[in-house]
Chain A
């Protein structure tokens, strides 16, 4: 387990900023203690410093996960955000999409969102902006990337894709093995 290098930190924060903007700061300076990010087997974990102190004594081979896993760095050093980060992104999300009940199932199975399934979208969402997807009961379902800006969405056809799927809660069942491993 090691801290992130500068480059890695830059890539990681850039990715996060796409979804929560400047609130990234809030993730690090929290009222209930300092939290930090650590890298273990190419995965980025978010833990409090208190926990970190106790976790450093564990062998690298035997440690599976600490705190919350946010995502992993791919072989080409790009950062991929996992669904496990949803709990932290959802409260700070700047741009949101709400899905109709009929489209919930589709998204949770890993499909992109079409205009026909779009319930609401927050104002002034830019094109290719990272968004957090909710259902009508305000339960976060995952994240995605807006395929069209809000203004474009209004004029889109029902079958047009308005949001690309990035991660959804269905992965807890579908992709349990690869979440952390």
Chain B
């Protein structure tokens, strides 16, 4: 190939072999592209013109509105250049009239061929309607009918959705065999929730609420992959609207948060240092001065030099709350009964500024090592780490000012961290957890000093592990529930299905992932009034703290008294579920009984403090009985 290559092919001519090669094909006339536009109007254009005049006269009926580019195809039919073909095609698409190529308007590909062919056809029939136009009219009629049908169906559908029908037993069985279809499930969940929210109106005849609830539970279980027991428990705990939010929130992780270690640095400085490393963070909120939430980061947050130097610790936002409720003061003697991995313990130490004494216990020695590691890294110097079973702790040492029990639980509040909890938790597990928690909370109360505070917290949302345990403690020990001091959070449930708890349980706080954007949590703060153990499970006798000195004297008497009182009263509802031990009600009747039994002792008579908030400190009640309300 040279620079001046000549690429024009010369057709060989002459007597040689090459001249005998097949020549390029010659097209018949009717397929050839016309070189000049015809001057006269073609048949179709004539027809159109005729129709237009008819319309003007008012005789013709128009089926569809006329589009703008009607002017285009007047000549385009005849001028069969490519650009005009486009215009024709556009016209075909825009104008659904019989003027256009009717049936062919829906096809893209064969358009060109038919275009030429039909123009040939059109040249045949002049007076009659083109067969294509006939076809298009028929199609239009069909479409109209379909539209009307659709509208009717729409109306019917609206009516139908007002009465949603539950699938019958057979359908349910069929569905169980097939793999679950998520879209169907989701729509059915929505429908059933809608029905249940407005049950009297939207219900189907002959179906009762239980069937709807069962169906909902089945759907939710298969959609979110929970086991039946846990879903049932959640359905009892949450109202329906919240239930869906809660389940959705469990699917996504909560934001990563860290706590500044105030023993070594300040939040401002730490935030600056981390931002310099490329971490995107924000203060966690008004409620905490040490928390930071991390949106994203270029470096691993758990391995920065600041982390290694002990300036912060990775901790969930909900874990700040029990320590804030505990509010340890400088110089306190504090016990953390279930300390691993040490986040809350180090928080306590930071609040105490390394003064006082901090005892961290964890039953599992391997996890206790993690506590040690964290405490050393964060520079905590006043801590002792032990591995005892929490239940035997009261025998070891007593007299703590504050006790924190972050009890081992089923973990139903942290499902987003550990999805295996969805299917692995059974009623047996929950009962076991609940039993252990009840034992531990009693041990915690026994470890505490009189007038000391106990904070009980779990990362669970189930009532059996939360309010029930607190109520159990109220019955078994001389404690009362006090305000946690946390500004936000839902109140605890004073009643749950058939169980009725002590009304002060309302002071406990519940936290949910869907409302507070932190792990599900429960915090309760108890104050120990005295070391006395109430004599029976039925009544709680509360006494003033001043009477503790004389309590030993009157103990025997009062126990005898109380026994007599019980016999006199007869058996009160011995149901263990009767937790309605409102002291106000009892106090009046008991005092009367006391008088009736000639109990008026010179000396101390056990009184019930009617109003929990009022306390008379340092008074010895001698002499006539005073009724206090």
Instruction: Give A contacts to B, CB under 8 Å.
Output: 46, 48, 50-51, 54-55, 57-58, 62-69, 84, 87, 104, 108, 135, 137, 139-141, 169-170, 172-173, 176-177, 179-181
Are B376 and A181 in contact (CB-based, < 8 A)?
Answer: no
> Nearest CB to that of B308 among chain A residues?
A169
User: Within the assembled complex, what's the spacing in Å between the Cα atoms of A172 and B306?
Assistant: 12
Name the contact of A64 in the complex, choosing from B302, B333, B365, B397 (C-beta under 8 A).
Answer: B365
B421 interfacial by beta-carbon distance below 8 Å? no
Find out whether the CB atom of B369 lies under 8 angstroms from the CB atom of A180: yes
Q: Is the CB of B373 within 8 A of A172?
A: yes
Complex Cα–Cα for A65 and B375 (A): 10
B359: which A residues are within 8 A, CB to CB? 54
Taking the nearest CB of chain A, how far is it from the CB of B583, in angstroms?
36
Give 7 new A-B contacts, CB below 8 A, not counting A108-B305, A169-B309.
A58-B386, A64-B387, A66-B385, A68-B381, A87-B381, A137-B273, A169-B308
A51, B384: Cβ atoms under 8 Å? yes
Roughly how many angstroms separate A120 CA and B365 CA in the complex, as a whole number? 42
Residues from chain A with Cβ under 8 Å of B376 in the complex? 65, 68-69, 84, 172, 179-180
Q: In the docked arrangement, what's the CA distance between A169 and B375, Å? A: 13
Which of A57, A140, A180 lies in contact with B373, CB distance below 8 A? A180
Please list 18 pairs of residues, one from A and one from B, whose beta carbons are closer than 8 Å in the complex, sorted by A's number.
Answer: A48-B381, A51-B357, A54-B333, A62-B388, A63-B386, A64-B368, A64-B371, A64-B387, A65-B375, A66-B384, A87-B381, A104-B305, A108-B305, A139-B305, A141-B309, A172-B373, A172-B376, A176-B370
| C-alpha spacing A100/B597, complex, angstroms | 86
Residue from B303, B371, B384 within 8 A of A58 (CB atoms): B384
Nearest chain A CB to B277's CB is how many angstroms away? 11
Cross-chain contact A170 with B308 (CB below 8 angstroms): yes
For A51, give the chain B residue with the smallest CB separation.
B357
- For the complex, is B379 an interface residue (Cβ under 8 Å from A)? yes
Q: How far is the CB of A93 from chain B (nearest CB, A)?
A: 15
Chain A contacts for B397, CB-based, 8 A: 54, 57-58
Given contacts A58-B396, A172-B377, A180-B372, contact A135 B305 (CB under 8 A): yes
What is the total of A-B residue contacts with beta carbons within 8 Å? 90
A62 engages B386 (CB within 8 Å): yes
Q: Is B403 interfacial (CB-CB < 8 Å)?
A: no
- Cβ of B383 within 8 Å of any chain A Cβ, yes or no, is yes
B308, A87: Cβ atoms closer than 8 Å: no
Q: How far is the CA of A141 from the CA of B309 in the complex (A)?
A: 7
A173 surroundings in chain B (CB, below 8 A): 302-303, 308
B577 contacts partner chain A, Cβ-Cβ < 8 Å: no
Q: Say yes or no: A67 contacts B381, CB within 8 Å.
A: yes
Q: How far is the CA of A58 from the CA of B388 in the complex (A)?
A: 10
B residues in contact with A180, CB < 8 Å: 369, 372-373, 376
Which among A54, A141, A176 is the interface contact of B384 at CB below 8 angstroms? A54
* Contacting pair A176 B369 (CB below 8 A): yes
Chain A residues lying within 8 Å of B379, measured Cβ to Cβ, are: 87
Residues of A within 8 A of B387 (CB): 62, 64
Q: What residues of chain A lie closer than 8 Å to B333, measured between beta carbons?
A: 54
Task: Say whether B305 contacts A64, CB under 8 Å.
Answer: no
Q: Are A67 and B383 in contact (CB under 8 A)?
A: yes
Whole-angstrom CA separation of A169 from B373 in the bound complex: 11
Taking a contact as CB atoms under 8 Å apart, the answer to whether A57 and B309 are in contact is no
- Cβ–Cβ < 8 Å partners of B305 in chain A: 104, 108, 135, 139, 141, 169
Choose one: A64, A87, A104, A172; the contact of B385 (CB below 8 Å). A64
A71 → B minimal CB distance (Å): 12
| Residue in B closest to A83 when the chains form the complex, CB atoms | B376
Chain B binding site: helix, strand, loop or mixed by DSSP? helix
B309 & A139 in contact (Cβ 8 Å cutoff): yes
User: Given contacts A62-B388, A108-B305, A172-B377, are A51 and B382 in contact (CB under 8 A)?
Assistant: yes
Interface residues on B, range: 20 to 34
* Least CB distance, A124 to chain B, in whole angstroms: 27
| Complex-state Cα separation, A104 to B303, whole angstroms | 12
A51 to B369, CA, bound (A): 20
- Inter-chain CA distance A180–B308, complex, in Å, is 17
- Pick the contact of B372: A50, A64, A169 (CB < 8 A): A64
B273 contacts across to A, CB distance below 8 A? 137
**B382 and A67 contact, CB distance less than 8 A:** yes
B residues within 8 A CB of A69?
A: 372, 376
Q: Shortest CB–CB separation between residue B395 and chain A, in angstroms?
A: 10
Contact with A along B494-526 (1 / 0, CB 8 A): 000000000000000000000000000000000
Query: Which 9 residue pairs across A and B have the least CB separation, nearest first?
Result: A169-B308, A84-B376, A64-B385, A180-B372, A65-B385, A65-B372, A176-B373, A172-B377, A66-B384
Residues of chain A with a CB closer than 8 A to B369's CB: 64, 176-177, 179-181
Residue of A63, A87, A135 with most partner-chain B CB within 10 A: A87
Q: If A139-B305, A141-B305, A173-B308 touch, does A179 touch B382 (CB 8 Å cutoff)?
A: no
Q: How far apart sit A180 and B302, CA to CA, in the bound complex (Å)? A: 21
Taking CB atoms, residues of chain A closer than 8 Å to B383 are 65-67
Bound Cα distance from A68 to B309, whole angstroms: 15
Q: Is the CB of A50 within 8 A of B396?
A: no
Q: A-facing mask of B206-243, CB < 8 A → 1, else 0?
A: 00000000000000000000000000000000000000
Q: Tell me whether B396 and A57 are in contact (CB under 8 A).
A: yes
Cα of A108 to Cα of B308 in the assembled complex, Å: 9
Q: Are B370 and A65 in contact (CB under 8 A)?
A: no
A91 to chain B, nearest CB (A): 12
Closest chain-A Cβ to B263's Cβ sits at a distance in Å of 9
Contact of A179 among B302, B365, B373 (CB under 8 A): B373
Considering only residues 355-409 of chain B, those with a C-beta below 8 Å from chain A are 357, 359, 365, 368-373, 375-377, 379, 381-388, 396-397
By a CB distance below 8 angstroms, the chain B residues around A48 are 381-382
Distance between A9 CB and nearest chain B CB, rounded to angstroms: 21
Chain A residue numbers with a CB within 8 Å of B388 are 62
CB distance from B581 to the nearest CB of A (A): 37
Known A139-B309, A140-B309, A169-B305; contact A64-B382, beta-carbon cutoff 8 A: no
CB distance from A107 to the nearest CB of B (A): 10
A107 to B134 CA separation, bound complex (whole angstroms): 89
Shortest Cβ gap from B442 to chain A (Å): 20
Check B357 against A50 for contact (C-beta < 8 Å).
Answer: yes
Q: A139-B309, A172-B377 are in contact. Are A67 and B384 (CB under 8 A)?
A: yes
- A57 to B384, alpha carbons, bound, how many Å? 12
A58 to B309, CA, bound (A): 30
State the Cβ distance, A162 to closest chain B Cβ, in Å: 20
Residue of B nearest to A68 (CB): B381
- Report chain B residues within 8 Å CB of A57: 396-397
Interface string of B295-324 (1 = CB under 8 A from A): 000000011011011000000000000000
CB neighbours (8 Å) of A137 from chain B are: 273
Say how far B342's CB is from chain A's closest CB, in angstroms.
11
B398 to chain A, nearest CB (A): 11
- Measured between beta carbons, the chain B residues less than 8 angstroms from A104 are 305
Bound: A50/B385 CA distance, A: 16
B384 touches A65 (CB 8 A): yes
Closest CB of chain A to B570's CB: distance in Å? 48
